[in-house]
Structures are given as C-alpha cells and as structure tokens.
C-alpha cells in the first residue's frame, strides 16, 4: 500500500464518527407519501373540492388521468429514492414511465376534447392565478421533502433521481389540482415542477461548491 493511501486511511479512520443510517428507500417513500397526503388534505380543507367532481368521476378519461397521476407520484417517489442509492440499477427509472405516459396521454386527450368547448373568456386570469397558486402550494412542500431525502442519500449520479423526483412531484400536483380545480393544467404543473426542481438543484449545487461538505449525520 502506498504511503499516501496509508495516510488517507489514517485520516478517514480518525474522522469516523458514528453516522445515522439511511432508512431503506421503501420506508422513506412512505414518509414522503404521508407528507403528500397531508398536503393534499390541507389543500382540500383550504380550497374545497371542485364542484363538478362527482360528474368528473363518472368519466373514464378523468379517472384514468387521476389514477395515472397518482401512480406517477407513488412510482416516481420510490424510483427517485431507489436511483439515489449507489448499488441500485438505473433501470428503476422505468418504474414511473408507464404511469407518466398514461397520465400525459390522458392530458393530451383532455386538451383535444377541451379545444372546442372552451370559448374565449371561459378561463379568466384570476382563475389561472388561483390555479397556479394551488400548483405552488401543492408542489413546494413535496418537492422540498423529496430533495431533502435525495440530499441525505448523496446520489453519485443525481440526474436520474432528479428526473424521477420531477415526475413524482408533477403527478402529485396534478392529483391535487384534479380534485380542487376545474382547469386541466397538467402542462403548467409539469413545467413548474421542472423549474422548481431545477432551481433548487442549482441552489444546492452552488451551495455545495461554496460551503464545505457536511459530515453525514
């Protein structure tokens, strides 16, 4: 063994304080989903369910879209945490893709159907602003929770876990919006989540460069 490596091992051993083990990804995913359920409940209590929910639940496209968004949220959360672990295969990224494709497909069908019935003036700026506020309120805590968990996991390749996190947060936000608002704003949701995750990841990357690395707790 070379002298330098011996010295490095001595230094690492000298700094080997006890660390708090990361819980398995499945358990952490449940914690995040519990947080998401809490946010959903709070927003439903705050804003109330959409008035036409019963009618919507009678349509197949709405139910398929809602369930696919929910599945995207659950599978995306689990995939993000699995992908952050060094020894899990990258193929876990496929986990939320099927549900996400179904969800976005349902969004596309919804857009085509709404194209004709939506007359100019039906969606007001105030309604859109209200809708955007709900997107922000729903996405922010869940995204921060997801990124916090990813930060603890210190992924060696953060790209795929972040992509799965975007899908998870977007799916969850879409579920909230489908239950609370009458506007189908899935594209806005996806764009917002890409922006917020990208911005937070950038802030974290800059902070990691500027601040000394933390010892794991």
Partner 1 sequence: MPPHPDAAPPDDWPALMARAQDGDQEAYRRLLAAIAPWLRARCRAALRDPAEAEDAMQDVLLTLHRIRHTFDPARPFRPWLAAIAHARIVDRQRVFIRRSRRETALDASHETFPAPAANHDETTDQGRLHDAIAHLPAAERQAVRLLKLEELSLKEASLRTGLSATALKVACHRALKRLRTLLDPAT
> Structure tokens of 151?
């930060």
CB of 164 to partner 1, least distance (A): 17
CA–CA distance, 9 with 84 (Å, rounded to integer): 26
Residue nearer to partner 1 on the CB measure, 47 or 151 = 151
CB of 1 to partner 1, least distance (A): 6
Q: What share of the chain is helix, strand, coil (3-state, %, to 5)?
A: 75, 0, 25
CB of 216 to partner 1, least distance (A): 4
> Structure tokens of 127?
């309604």
CB of 204 to partner 1, least distance (A): 15
CB of 178 to partner 1, least distance (A): 35
> How many CB atoms lie under 10 A from the CB of residue 168?
31
Which residues of the chain form contacts with partner 1 (CB under 8 A)?
1-2, 4-5, 8-9, 12-22, 24, 85-87, 153-154, 156-157, 213, 216-217
Which residue is it, tokens 């496929």? 94
Residue nearer to partner 1 on the CB measure, 116 or 217 = 217
> Structure tokens of 79?
């995939």
Return the closest-CA partner of residue 114 out of 126, 124, 125, 106. 106
Residue nearer to partner 1 on the CB measure, 17 or 207 = 17
Residue nearer to partner 1 on the CB measure, 25 or 96 = 25
> Structure tokens of 181?
């608002």
Residue nearer to partner 1 on the CB measure, 50 or 152 = 152
């Amino acid at each position: 063994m070379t002298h330098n490596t011996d010295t490095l091992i001595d230094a690492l051993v000298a700094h080997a304080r006890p660390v708090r083990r990361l819980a398995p990804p499945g358990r952490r995913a449940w914690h995040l989903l519990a947080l998401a359920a809490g946010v959903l409940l709070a927003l439903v209590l705050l804003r109330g369910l959409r008035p036409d929910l019963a009618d919507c639940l009678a349509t197949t496209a709405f139910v398929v879209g809602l369930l696919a968004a929910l599945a995207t949220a659950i599978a995306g959360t689990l995939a993000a945490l699995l992908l952050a672990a060094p020894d899990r295969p990258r193929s876990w990224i496929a986990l939320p893709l099927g549900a996400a494709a179904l969800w976005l497909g349902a969004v596309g069908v919804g857009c085509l159907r709404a194209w004709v019935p939506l007359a100019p003036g039906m969606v007001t700026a105030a309604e859109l602003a209200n809708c955007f506020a709900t997107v922000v309120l729903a996405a922010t805590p869940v995204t921060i929770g997801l990124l916090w968990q990813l930060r603890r996991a210190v992924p060696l390749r953060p790209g795929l876990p972040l992509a799965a996190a975007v899908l998870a947060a977007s799916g969850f936000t879409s579920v909230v919006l489908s239950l609370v608002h009458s506007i189908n704003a899935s594209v806005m949701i996806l764009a917002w989540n890409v922006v917020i995750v990208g911005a937070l990841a950038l802030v974290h990357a800059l902070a990691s460069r500027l601040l000394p690395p933390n010892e794991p707790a």
